[in-house]
Chains A and B, each alone.
Chain A
Amino acid sequence: MGLRPHRPHLAGVLLALAACRGAGHRQAGPSAIVATDDAGRRVALAAPARRVVSLSPAVTELLFALGAGDRVVGRTHWCDYPPQVSAIPDVGDGLNPNVEAVSARKPDLVVLYRSPMDATAAEQFDRMGVASALVSQDRIEDLARAARLLGALTGRAAAGDSIADALGALLSAPPPFPTSRVAFVVWDNPPMVIGAGSYLDQLATLAGARNVFHDLAAPSATVSLEVIAQRDPDAIVVLSDSGALPSWAHRPEWRTVRAVREGRIISLAGSLFARPSPRAALAAAELRRRLEGAR
């Protein structure tokens, strides 16, 4: 653990050199905290992070749950939980980070969602001597890992372990017997549904339901309307902050889906359901309640 993978090709050497040069700019001294992020990168801090920029809503929420909310000095446009985040400066939409805007917040740690675009940004932070961590957050186990990592990096290791243990317990408990079949529809034209790779698929299992598109490995996929009609879920779940029924629910082509025809569309609030969070157990319970109510 903590070993940089050996990359003999030129690009790797250049990156390594760049990283060394970046390290040279940092104040010399022993690294008190050393961890490895989800991309296998070494993240070293001389002391627990004091100024953190979070480039994902799930991380922002997690930092608050760790009790490190007061150290968050930058957040994304999308961060909406807990409510206090609105007082923190917005540094962009977080998808293609503006490195300059982020560094203007003078962070000692930047936490990014693990994506190819963010990996490029992380290299830039490396070169500037700002520590950064790439964190996966597609599923509950990702969040548990993130809790331990961020706990260590912010000096809140105990809180991190406790959140991770709670999430682990949620996952390892035998799930309730599935009593209903659901489809998560995230877009109508073309119809996009949630597959097995997504947090929502896990949430369905925890809520005693089965995602009818569990056979699709990807987090989400475009399918034809007819496939949704054919798989015939008991309920359709959509994410919406307003709670209103989606406009497509009244369209005749969607009414070929039994659940739509019979009005069993469950609308979930994005801030609790759109991303894995320490409130996953709460979300699962809420979904279960709503599913039972729809029957």
Chain B
Amino acid sequence: MKALALGGLAALVLALAVILGPTHVAWADLSTSPVVRDLRVPRALLAFLVGGALAVSGASLQALVRNPLADPFLLGLSGGAGLGAVLAIAGHLSGPGALPLAAFAGALAATALVSRLGLVADAELDPRVLLLAGVAVGAFAGAVMTAIVSLSDAVELRNAFLWLWGGLSGASWLTVLVIAVYLPLPLIVLYASARSLDLLALGEEPARHLGAEVTPVKRRVYLAASALTGAAVAVSGVIGFVGLIVPHLMRFGWGHRHRALLPASFVGGGILLVAADILARVAVAPRELPVGIVTALVGVPLFALLLRRWTT
């Protein structure tokens, strides 16, 4: 029943994303119009996949660091991925595979740095230290990006800033294909780790006693979450709050068992980002807002609400 409602909502926003737009397309022409086929459909699909990837990444990281406030953005992954992408642009790497790979490498480097900083004496990742380390690494990556962008002569790189703010205007069947190729592996890895994530929420030692191979699981989950974030950043820039808000919302309906929570978060994240992108396109038409601004505008008040609920 819940699943049906979520599926229905997903179908509804995807349909809206395809129907709504400045160009009037008659019902009969929906399947043949190039505007629908080459612009709206790939953009809606890209938004859905990116939103899903970010939400699953967020849900997994929250369990991993046992902190409901974690998300790819706060843990510095998005910043690292953005830096990787900017370096790729500055180094003139091109090709559909290069940007996601560079972003993935950046996310991974940020992850390694964050977990190194978050490592305390007993070799367990202290969730609070980890979160602080993530914020610090994210800020550092942001500063390096700003430095590169402002020191560079190339106009392209100045405009990379616009792209970093998150936007789906680059959507095409090629970007959909790129992300559709990148996503399945990390998604499967995370789904297969779902039960270990349930256990990890108790802490590392209790998780071990309940049968989790903690160290390899942590490594796998970190890698997979970095891959998801990297792919998302590569095709759409840095989009915050999806990874934070969606798992929270989904826990109301699906509890915190990741076998149910991860798929629900994927669909929920897809719905949120498609809806946010519709707003970004329609609210100030013919102009367009960066979708990351819309998710922040929607996400922050929602987050404040959840935080109050959580703490009272």
A–B direct contact (CB < 8 Å): yes
Number of interface residues of B (CB under 8 A): 27
Inter-chain contact B38/A256, CB cutoff 8 Å: yes
Shortest beta-carbon distance from B277 to chain A in Å: 10
User: In the complex, what distance in Å separates the CA atom of A227 from the CA atom of B174?
Assistant: 21
CB-CB contacts of B288-302 with A at 8 A, as 1s and 0s? Answer: 111000000000000
Kindly identify which residue among B35, B153, B170 contacts A230, using a CB–CB cutoff of 8 Å: B35
User: In the complex, what distance in Å separates the CA atom of A47 from the CA atom of B125?
Assistant: 70
Q: A33: CB under 8 A from chain B?
A: no
Across the interface, name the chain A residue whose C-beta is closest to B42: A253
Q: A255: CB under 8 A from chain B?
A: yes
Inter-chain contact A255/B38, CB cutoff 8 Å: yes
Across the interface, name the chain B residue whose C-beta is closest to A270: B155
Contacts of A16 in B (CB 8 A): none
Q: A249: CB under 8 A from chain B?
A: no
Contacts of A226 in B (CB 8 A): 21-23, 35, 39-40, 281
User: Which B243-258 residues sit within 8 Å CB-CB of chain A?
Assistant: none
User: Among the listed stretches A54-62, A105-113, A156-164, A215-223, which one makes contact with chain B, having 4 or more residues with CB under 8 Å of it?
Assistant: A215-223
Shortest beta-carbon distance from A294 to chain B in Å: 22
In this complex, the interface size class of chain A, counting residues with CB under 8 Å from chain B, is 20 to 34
Shortest beta-carbon distance from A50 to chain B in Å: 31
Q: B287: CB under 8 A from chain A?
A: yes
Contacts of A231 in B (CB 8 A): 286
Shortest beta-carbon distance from A81 to chain B in Å: 17
Q: A251: CB under 8 A from chain B?
A: yes
Contacts of B163 in A (CB 8 A): 189-190
Shortest beta-carbon distance from B117 to chain A in Å: 32
Contacts of B8 in A (CB 8 A): none
Shortest beta-carbon distance from A93 to chain B in Å: 8
Inter-chain contact A224/B288, CB cutoff 8 Å: yes
Contacts of B286 in A (CB 8 A): 213, 215-216, 223-224, 227, 231
Contacts of B39 in A (CB 8 A): 225-226, 229, 253, 256
User: In the complex, what distance in Å separates the CA atom of A213 from the CA atom of B34?
Assistant: 22
User: In the complex, what distance in Å separates the CA atom of A187 from the CA atom of B157?
Assistant: 11
Inter-chain contact B290/A190, CB cutoff 8 Å: yes
Shortest beta-carbon distance from A251 to chain B in Å: 6
Q: A252: CB under 8 A from chain B?
A: yes
Across the interface, name the chain B residue whose C-beta is closest to A232: B23
User: Which A171-191 residues sit within 8 Å CB-CB of chain B?
Assistant: 187-191
Contacts of A191 in B (CB 8 A): 169
CB-CB contacts of B186-210 with A at 8 A, as 1s and 0s? Answer: 0000000000000000000000000
Contacts of B23 in A (CB 8 A): 226, 229-230
Inter-chain contact B287/A222, CB cutoff 8 Å: yes
User: In the complex, what distance in Å separates the CA atom of A189 from the CA atom of B160?
Assistant: 9
User: In the complex, what distance in Å separates the CA atom of A21 from the CA atom of B51?
Assistant: 58
Shortest beta-carbon distance from A243 to chain B in Å: 15
Kindly identify which residue among B162, B172, B281, B288 contacts A252, using a CB–CB cutoff of 8 Å: B172
Inter-chain contact B162/A187, CB cutoff 8 Å: yes
Contacts of A77 in B (CB 8 A): 153
User: Which A250-265 residues sit within 8 Å CB-CB of chain B?
Assistant: 251-253, 255-256
User: In the complex, what distance in Å separates the CA atom of A188 from the CA atom of B170?
Assistant: 8
Across the interface, name the chain A residue whose C-beta is closest to B160: A189
Across the interface, name the chain B residue whose C-beta is closest to A251: B172
Shortest beta-carbon distance from B281 to chain A in Å: 5
Inter-chain contact A253/B171, CB cutoff 8 Å: yes
Contacts of B40 in A (CB 8 A): 226
User: In the complex, what distance in Å separates the CA atom of A256 from the CA atom of B36?
Assistant: 9
Contacts of A215 in B (CB 8 A): 286
Q: A192: CB under 8 A from chain B?
A: yes
Contacts of A227 in B (CB 8 A): 22, 285-286, 288
Inter-chain contact B38/A190, CB cutoff 8 Å: no
Q: B182: CB under 8 A from chain A?
A: no
Across the interface, name the chain B residue whose C-beta is closest to A215: B286
Shortest beta-carbon distance from B95 to chain A in Å: 12
Contacts of A225 in B (CB 8 A): 39, 169
Q: B167: CB under 8 A from chain A?
A: yes
Among B159, B169, B173, B174: residue with most chain A CB under 10 A: B169
Shortest beta-carbon contacts, A-B, top 4: A253-B172, A190-B169, A189-B170, A230-B23
Residues of A within 8 A of B (CB): 77, 187-192, 213, 215-216, 221-227, 229-231, 251-253, 255-256
Known: A190-B288, A253-B173. 10 other contacts (CB 8 A): A187-B159, A222-B287, A222-B289, A223-B286, A225-B39, A227-B286, A229-B39, A252-B174, A253-B39, A256-B38
Residue contacts A-B, CB under 8 angstroms, 24 given: A77-B153, A187-B162, A188-B170, A189-B163, A189-B167, A189-B169, A189-B170, A191-B169, A192-B159, A216-B286, A221-B287, A222-B289, A223-B286, A224-B22, A224-B288, A225-B169, A226-B281, A227-B286, A251-B174, A253-B38, A253-B172, A255-B34, A255-B38, A256-B38
